[in-house]
Amino acid sequence: MNNAPFIIIGLGNPGAEYSQTRHNAGFWFVDLLAGAGSSFTVQKKLHALQYRATIAGTDCLLLKPQTFMNLSGQSVRAVVDWYKLSAEDTASRVLVVHDELDLPPGTIRYKQSGGHGGNNGVRDIVRHLGSGNFLRLRVGVGHPGQAHQVSNYLTSGRPSAEQQQAIANALLKARDTIPLVLKGELPRAMKELHTSSDS
């Protein structure tokens, strides 16, 4: 493994009009990790806004791709190439945070690897990397009930105050487990997060 930072990529759409929409749950999490008042800088070569942070003694790169959700793979491919990450590195040191329709607001789950689960940002990342072998943090935002409502639900509608609070609480719980993930203790992080988010 090289000396690359641990990379945490929050998915979302750039622009103020999207900042409070459900599709931006990944952005919300990296903003939370960066801390209030932190300034992300433009990193054109990575097609993203970036913030360098030390979390639990680990050098971390927090990214918010600026390509729009459906093209998130461009940014992830660029950062993997920039740091010359091997497939093994990518599987253990790249965490993608995204909204999840299949989980209710307030539920949040780690996932080791797998398919895209219908999330277009994850779909594009899998396409660009040629593999689904990277860490994920799935932030539940609920489902509108019918497939034709999904796009508007994610990119235009905002969570209710109650839903927003549930999501915010879940993000805080996930933040508390990040040190475990950074140490390579994903099973323990899963156990702590999944137990607390069910309670």
**What token pair was written down for 45?**
């070569």
* Helix and strand totals (H; E) in the chain: 7, 7
- DSSP H helical ranges for 5-159: 25-34, 72-82, 87-93, 120-129, 150-155
Query: Can 143 be counted among the known catalytic residues?
Result: no
For 162, other C-beta atoms within 10 Å of its C-beta total 10
Catalytic residue among 23, 47, 98, 128: 23
| Alpha-carbon separation of residue 61 from 34, 83, 94, 157 (angstroms) | 10, 11, 10, 30
* Spatial separation of the C-alpha atoms in residues 37 and 45, rounded to whole Å: 24
Active site residues: 23
